[in-house]
């Protein structure tokens, strides 16, 4: 590898390791506090941002950093816990919506302060304001570049063939 490749790989590895360490620490804090798990909070965070506190299951799966299968199972667990409901779309019966219940909203709002403290304690405090701005801009650039990609098996195969 040349130096540019080494730097890219080092940045990638550092991002993954930092993400994993901070996520585990935040999840541990939430567990000790007796709140909902971090994965549930992330689902509720996305539902809270959706119109009428709901999203189509496909859209939720795109927004949560988990596999589609895992999101489906997670939502089923949250339905059983009374935090989310699933609603079949009246116009297109193939579409299923995940909607936050009032209990889900309560759990979300009860967990939010601990979650935000965790971000500060396990991530943000280690960065200067300038580093936070640079990191946010850089990672947003990468995310936007991939937002245009259609995540179908055929599109992924085409993408892989063109980059080899």
CA dist 147 and 41 (Å) reads 23
Taking only the tens place, the pLDDT of each residue in 19-62 is 999 999 999 999 999 999 999 999 999 999 999 999 999 899 88
Identify the pLDDT of residue 2.
Answer: 58
Identify the pLDDT of residue 143.
Answer: 85
Closest residue by Cα to residue 45 from 25, 34, 33, 60: 60
CA dist 53 and 43 (Å) reads 11
What would the DSSP string read from start to end of 36-63?
Answer: --HHHHHHHHHHHHSGGGEEEHHHHHHH
Average pLDDT over residues 127-140: 96
Average predicted confidence (pLDDT) for the chain: 88
Residue 85 phi, psi (nearest 5): -120, 155
**Domain map of the chain by residue range?**
3-125, 127-164
Higher-pLDDT residue of 92, 164: 92
3-state secondary structure of 101: coil
Q: Pull the structure tokens for residue 132.
A: 């936070």
Taking only the tens place, the pLDDT of each residue in 62-86 is 888 777 788 999 999 999 999 999 9
Contact 43, 60 (CB under 8 A): yes
82 Cβ partners below 8 Å, 6+ apart? 101, 103, 104
Element (H or E) spanning 160, and its range? helix 153-163
Do β-strands 84-88 and 96-100 pair in parallel, antiparallel, or remain unpaired? antiparallel
Q: Enter the pTM of the model.
A: 0.80
Name which CATH class applies to 3-125.
mainly alpha
Identify the pLDDT of residue 82.
Answer: 98
């Amino acid at each position: 590898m040349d130096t540019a490749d080494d730097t890219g790989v080092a940045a990638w590895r550092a991002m993954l390791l930092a993400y994993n360490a901070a996520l585990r620490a935040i999840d541990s804090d939430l567990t000790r506090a007796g709140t909902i798990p971090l994965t549930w909070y992330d689902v509720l965070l996305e539902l809270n941002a959706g119109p009428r506190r709901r999203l189509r299951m496909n859209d939720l799966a795109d927004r949560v950093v988990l596999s589609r299968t895992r999101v489906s199972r997670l939502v089923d667990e949250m339905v059983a816990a009374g935090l989310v409901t699933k609603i079949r779309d009246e116009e297109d019966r193939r579409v299923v919506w995940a909607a936050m219940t009032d209990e889900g909203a309560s759990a979300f709002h009860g967990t939010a302060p601990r979650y935000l403290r965790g971000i500060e304690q396990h991530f943000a405090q280690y960065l200067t304001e300038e580093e936070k701005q640079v990191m946010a801009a850089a990672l947003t650039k990468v995310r936007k570049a991939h937002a245009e990609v259609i995540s179908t098996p055929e599109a992924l195969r085409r993408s892989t063939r063109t980059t080899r």
